Amino acid sequence: MGASHAGNQLSILDGIFMAIKDDIDCYPHPSKGATTWMHEVRSVEKDAVCVSRLRSCGVILVGKANMHELGMGTTGNNPNYGTTRNPHAVERYTGGSSSGPAAIVASGLCSAALGTDGGGSVRIPSSLCGVVGLKTTYGRTSMEGSICDAGTVEIIGPIASTVEDVILVYAAILGSSPDNRISLRPPPPCFPDLSSLENANTLGSLRLGKYTEWFNDVHSTDISDVCEDVLKLLSKSHGCEDNRDSNTRTT
């Protein structure tokens, strides 16, 4: 059972376990950014905006998650607090810099987590750990209360095990900070009716393309074969326009 108000469920996320990356404020815990010193020069006085919104939905925050130090790498290797291991193969990296959030979700310890992404820090570890990560358009989620605020590059984004779960977390944290003059002004947070999407042909308007030279530049052909199968599935089963033979970059 999740938290409740007067016996009523707060939201669909009520009682769900989530972890927060160590560069996002989660009061009263320090935000170290996986360093040994950041907490000494920067105090945490309140939750980050995104964390506060999750609390209002009844989310149970289990703690701060490890990361690549200050987000300055894509492996998750951290000499200060130990390197996060990939739950699927402990001898391998998780990717970074949101290594801890991705590993926690992939291991099943939490249903979802928050990470930050400027150049792939949510997407890379999600890919390597076999979970779903979303980098939102800048301004759709508030960066207030985050260490690694890289101008209009960095965002706070959700990591979860399914696309549906990512949508739910995204809906909960959606909305820019009123004090941020350059951010977008999206609609108020709301939870989508996922049942209405089940039979909707939401992919049919997409056009597929690939840059063959990059597409095939992988360690194993098993990877490119699987990706090719996905493209075929999208074109044949979901009606996407197939322009892959044009050898263009993906659009």
At which residue do the structure tokens 């939401």 appear?
Answer: 202
User: Structural domain of residue 227, as residue ranges?
Assistant: 207-246
Asked if residue 25 belongs to a domain, the reply is yes
CATH of the domain at 29: 3.90.1300.10
Q: Which residues are catalytic?
A: 21, 97, 121
Residue type, 78: N
Least confident of 65-74, 83-92, 174-183, 185-194: 185-194
| Percent residues over pLDDT 70 in the chain | 82
Asked if residue 201 belongs to a domain, the reply is no
124 lies in the same domain as 234: no
| Average pLDDT estimate for 35-58 | 95
| Percent residues over pLDDT 90 in the chain | 59
Q: How far apart are CA 179 and CA 201, in angstroms?
A: 38
Residue 54 φ then ψ, to 5°: -65, -40
Least confident of 47-61, 125-139, 174-188: 174-188
Residues 6+ apart with CB under 8 A from 107: 87
236 lies in the same domain as 121: no
Q: Which one has a higher pLDDT value, 60 or 218? A: 60
160 lies in the same domain as 215: no
120 lies in the same domain as 23: yes
pLDDT band at 220 (very low <50, low <70, confident <90, very high): confident
151 lies in the same domain as 116: yes
pTM greater than 0.85 (yes/no): no
Asked if residue 200 belongs to a domain, the reply is no
184 lies in the same domain as 220: no
Q: Which two tokens stand for residue 55?
A: 């609390």
* pLDDT tens by residue, 124-163: 999 999 999 999 888 888 888 999 766 778 999 999 999 9
115 lies in the same domain as 221: no
Name the domain count of the chain: 2
34 lies in the same domain as 151: yes
- Res. 186: pLDDT tops 60: no
Least confident of 104-108, 182-186, 195-199: 195-199
